[in-house]
Structure 1
Amino acid sequence: MTTSSAGLTAPFALARFRDGDAVHLGLVAGDRIRELSAVDLGAADLNAFLGRPDWERLRALVSGDGPWMPLADVVLTAPVVPRQVLQAGANYRQHVIELVVAGLTQDDTRTPEEARAFAAKLMDDRAANGEPYFFIGLPTIVVGDDVPLVLPGYSDVHDWELELAVVIGTEAYRVSREDALDHVAGYTIVNDITTRDLVFRKDMKEIGTDWYRAKNAPGFLPTGPFLVPAPFVDGGDLDVRLDLNGETKQDGSTSDLLFDIPTLVSSASQTTVLLPGDLLLTGSPPGNGQHWRRFLRDGDVMTGTIEGLGTQLVRCVAEGAAAATPAASAATGANAS
């Protein structure tokens, strides 16, 4: 696969690239990449750097004569090594309105227009008086787009959910909304793959949702290809688009978030300590496969782009059509130091 910085507008970003069985941290500037040593970082590893990010230190390297390589000559993997993955559900206003309307219009006492007005009021009330809904994912399923997405054979309804992901910097615990962005190191792209028929338990409906089974198969969190420093990103107003085999399926903006990034970081930190390098997913805009009644198949190619953060390319293969181990081994590599 040819690695490209297409869609990356920041003067520099971080990435991680493969060299045989090893994974190295790199600095990306335009169409070039160079390996970053602990001396370059001024820190022992990526997460230690993110805990006290010194972006000016890296900016000084961009104009240097260091060991630069063409970006097209390397294979990138996930740009982060999270210890925790937190995910915000039902956080795009228009997306949730569509879901509510789809349910309400089954009741013929409401017209579609009445159902939409009811759903819009419901979401506005939630944004004003409610709080974010979080669940957790496994950091071991974080992979790069350097391996195919193996679609487990136990279901035919694997779905896409392109999301902006916050990368935590300085440790955050019970921080205020006003101080929350001080704890954000940067942003990256995540495709939160979901097996729809496993979301709700059929054996005991009272239990509710089962996010563990629905979202945590090997490789179900393609991430990257870049970690873009927070100073270069306005996370509150970014275009989010996913194309499936060249056809646009999701096309939204983070300006439609019910709970914005400072609120998400602050709210998540009230319960647990957010650690440097952790991922906080912000939700997915309308246009999932469930909406289109079209789910992922062998041979599908997803192209996910978030404004300024680059482009992610994910190739899908049916289980059995390719070895199921690459995603698992990639996860191991993605979480290596």
Structure 2
Amino acid sequence: MNVKFARLGAAGNEQPAVIVEDGNGAAKYFSLTGLTRDIDGAFLAADGIARTRKALESGELPEVPADGLRIGSPIARPGSVVCIGLNYTAHAAESGATPPEVPVVFLKPSNTVAGPFDAAPIPPTSEKYDWEVELGVVIGKEASYLSSVEEAAGHIAGYVVANDLSERDYQLPGAAGQWTKGKSLPASSPLGPWLVPAEQVDAGKLHLRTWVNGEIRQDSNTSDMIFDPATVVHHLSQYMVLEPGDVILTGTPEGVALSGRFQFIQPGDVVELEVEGLGRQRQEFYRAAGAITATSAGDPAAVR
């Protein structure tokens, strides 16, 4: 039985649900509140996906209406959001970088996670806010010093659509760069709409696309990844403990504004992202109010 997991309701009060499609493609939503308080690391570590399938087969889960409800991130706030940079050859080239020989790793704060359709703030002084469609990996059980890529694959619970929103002026200036600054902004990690179990997904052959105001920007396939998801999980496990519910963003393909071919995100723009089989996101952008003056986003004296 193919299933998809979602969290429905107002921000901070989402309720866990499972989605089942019938033979005609019509979706039915079933409440998971009898099984779990949330779709999180504890649920995944306790074999929540298998328990959900059993509960569906036995008719234990009540059907719930989903019309009009906000769709939140399909995974509750993770302990870690781990990101892989420059993981598509063409994107490395458009960024002016040599394709890496080992994964480039950075972290995003977990408080950047947002819903897939939430309105998205552009930072107050930002002039170079950029989109990045990515395949997100959700960890299902603790991973530390894994012995092989094959073992690592068994630690992946499922996959999500992700947008790794990035402020390039904050990220890239100077000899060292400031990736953390450019990747840590509020609501800069929309996830979802669904968590799809790993066994239902061929992660090596997924079409990824991004549209800005209806015009295609990114159009690629995960087959062009330099490091596939299981390789990434194995590599990360040698340097950190990955816990159930953690999310890994596996990198973006070519077609970002940083390439110089497109305008950066402007207030009123609509960005839509899709990963084959994992659903589609839509964000409308607005200029956030803030206390940072236009003098210099990187100058502490500019903060009032």
Query: Could you state the TM-score of these two structures normalised by the residue count of structure 1?
Result: 0.78
Aligned partner of residue 311 in structure 1, secondary structure: strand
Q: What residue identity is the alignment partner of 2:94?
A: E
Q: What residue identity is the alignment partner of 1:268?
A: L
Q: Does 1:155 align with 2:138?
A: no
Determine which of 72, 78, 81 is the counterpart of 1:77. 72
- Deviation at residue 307 of structure 1 after TM alignment: 0.4
- Deviation at residue 218 of structure 1 after TM alignment: 0.7
Q: Percent identity among equivalent residues?
A: 34
Aligned equivalent of 2:263: 294
- Deviation at residue 278 of structure 1 after TM alignment: 0.3
Determine which of 50, 53, 64 is the counterpart of 1:59. 53
Determine which of 232, 248, 273 is the counterpart of 1:280. 248
Aligned equivalent of 1:87: 83
Query: Could you state the TM-score of these two structures normalised by the residue count of structure 2?
Result: 0.86
> For residues 289-314 of structure 1, what are the alpha-carbon distances to aligned partners after superposition, in whole Å with 9 as ceiling and x for unaligned?
12223110111111111000011111
Aligned partner of residue 76 in structure 1, secondary structure: coil
Shift of the 193–19 alpha-carbon distance from structure 1 to 2, 3 Å rule, reads: closer
Separation of aligned partners in 1, 2:125 and 2:240: 34
**Of 260-269 and 44-53, the range deviating more from structure 2:** 44-53
Q: Give ranges in structure 2 of 5+ residues lacking alignment.
A: 22-26, 291-304
Shift of the 96–49 alpha-carbon distance from structure 1 to 2, 3 Å rule, reads: same
Separation of aligned partners in 2, 1:66 and 1:257: 38
> For residues 241-287 of structure 1, what are the alpha-carbon distances to aligned partners after superposition, in whole Å with 9 as ceiling and x for unaligned?
01111111000100001111111001111011000000111100000
Separation of aligned partners in 2, 1:97 and 1:290: 11
Structure showing the higher helix proportion among its residues: 1
Aligned equivalent of 1:136: 107
Q: Is the 8 A contact 1:53 1:185 kept in 2?
A: no
Separation of aligned partners in 2, 1:12 and 1:74: 19
Aligned equivalent of 1:177: 149
Q: Does 1:265 align with 2:233?
A: yes
Q: Is the 8 A contact 1:29 1:62 kept in 2?
A: no
Separation of aligned partners in 2, 1:226 and 1:32: 14
> For residues 57-103 of structure 1, what are the alpha-carbon distances to aligned partners after superposition, in whole Å with 9 as ceiling and x for unaligned?
22234453743123333211111121001100010012223334xx8
Residue correspondences, number:
281
Shift of the 44–66 alpha-carbon distance from structure 1 to 2, 3 Å rule, reads: closer
Tell me the C-alpha RMSD between the 2 structures: 2.2
Aligned equivalent of 1:113: none
Aligned equivalent of 1:234: 202
- Deviation at residue 147 of structure 1 after TM alignment: 2.3
Q: What residue identity is the alignment partner of 1:239?
A: H
- Deviation at residue 150 of structure 1 after TM alignment: 0.8
- Deviation at residue 146 of structure 1 after TM alignment: 4.0
Q: Which runs of 4+ in 1 moved over 6 A?
A: none
Aligned partner of residue 71 in structure 1, secondary structure: coil
- Deviation at residue 19 of structure 1 after TM alignment: 5.1
Aligned partner of residue 225 in structure 1, secondary structure: coil
Determine which of 214, 219, 228 is the counterpart of 2:187. 219
Aligned equivalent of 2:94: 98
Determine which of 261, 266, 278 is the counterpart of 1:309. 278
Q: Give ranges in structure 1 of 5+ residues lacking alignment.
A: 1-9, 104-121, 323-337
Q: Is the 8 A contact 2:208 2:220 kept in 1?
A: yes
Q: What residue identity is the alignment partner of 1:281?
A: L
Aligned partner of residue 49 in structure 1, secondary structure: helix
Shift of the 187–196 alpha-carbon distance from structure 1 to 2, 3 Å rule, reads: same
Aligned equivalent of 2:2: 11
